[in-house]
Amino acid sequence: MEKLGQQRVFKVAILFLVMGVGLFLAGCIGAGMFPQFTYQGRLTDQDGNPLNGTATVRFSFYHQASGGTAFYNETDNVSVTDGLFNTVVGPNTAIAGVTPEDLAKPTWVEVRVGNGVYTETLTPRQRLLGAPYAFTLMPGAVISNSFTAAVHGAALNAILTVDNEATDDDVPAALPALRAVGVAALELTEPGGDDGIIKSDLSQPNGDLWFFSNDEVWLDLDNNNDELGTFSVRAGDDALACEIQEDGDLNCSGAKSAVVQVEGERRLMYAIESPEVWFEDFGSGALVDGVATVAIDPLFAAAVNLQDYHVYLTPLGDCQLYVAEKGPDSFTVRAIGGSACNISFDYRIVARRLGYEDRRLEPYAPAQEELEP
């Protein structure tokens, strides 16, 4: 190869075959695919004559147009034919210190060319910019790939991330980060086949948002366990309609009802509200010679606090009854006046839920701040 001493080295083209530099490390994924791009150039002497032979090309990546410290270096030996050479730049394995965050910043490449005797550095550094891209795909086009290799960059949390960093104060107003339009809009599918669909008819001013699932729907309110999570349903004026808190509490501003089929019609049956958290159970017993001991269901007893509870009796005969004794696992019923009557009776036992004994008409404090109108 001819000496490069005072000869001029010209860089003609840098071609990105896959993604732009903001994405060229973070965006290249798949089996055997790593953050690389193709670099093509042309070497000539001072008179413009193309060179031939072998050259050593060193690529250094910086976050500054000049000065600073390179965060990635690579040296390639390239074959030059009629002045033209072609090489692939970028690591072919995951490299510590070269993360998608590094390449998301403005990046410049500095190129040094040498033949073992003379070395020339191309100036100024070249800003790495993205290649042109398509705004639309052909109808029915599919972007698909399968891979088993690890995605480059330990900081990645997803294969594709759409990040809209605009704020409500931006003018014009910030656009959505992602918009899916179609009959089903967005379909979520796992390799096993379980899938779901999210859609809304944007052509309708009062269109609904639909969620379809062929299996379960999971909602984890606080996956990182950092604070109390809440799932809220709001009315048209942003007032609270209902909320489910991470600890299982359900707070609703309306009535709680069950839809019951009654004589061919669906009717509403309403829950009885209480200022405290009570559980209740029902049963029957029978007096023998004026006395009966009723065992409390152990499962019910495990769910309530039986230090203090209520028992209501309904005699099923001509004999007055009273609760003579209450214990943690049973209560005793006797006939008034020591009568030795033998009758059946019904009872209702009411006790506070275990762990909720102190709750009574608490002020409502929303887990999340009320939305501003």
One-letter amino acid at 204 equals Q
Give just the sign of the alpha carbon dihedral 182, 187, 191, 193. Answer: negative
Q: What is the pLDDT of residue 221?
A: 81
One-letter amino acid at 14 equals I
In the numeric block, the tokens 């001819």 are attached to: 2
- C-alpha 181/C-alpha 207 separation (Å) is 13
**Which residue(s) pair with 127 in the sheet?**
108
**Which residue(s) pair with 200 in the sheet?**
209
For the chain, which residues score pLDDT lower than 50?
1-33, 152-154, 371-373
Q: Of 47, 58, 46, 60, which Cα lies nearest the Cα of 4?
A: 46
Q: Of 176, 171, 120, 148, which Cα lies nearest the Cα of 33?
A: 148
Contact by Cβ (8 Å): 130, 23: yes
Q: What is the pLDDT of residue 15?
A: 30
The burial class, CB within 10 Å (0-12 / 13-18 / 19+), for 43 is buried
Contact by Cβ (8 Å): 319, 278: no
Q: What is the pLDDT of residue 38?
A: 84
Q: What is the pLDDT of residue 373?
A: 39
The burial class, CB within 10 Å (0-12 / 13-18 / 19+), for 122 is middle
- C-alpha 9/C-alpha 119 separation (Å) is 10
pLDDT digits 0-9 by tens, 304-323: 999 999 999 999 999 999 99
Question: What domains are defined for the chain?
Answer: 37-134 (2.60.40), 278-353 (2.60.40)
- C-alpha 200/C-alpha 192 separation (Å) is 26
- C-alpha 115/C-alpha 5 separation (Å) is 10
What is the token pair recorded at 37? 């791009």
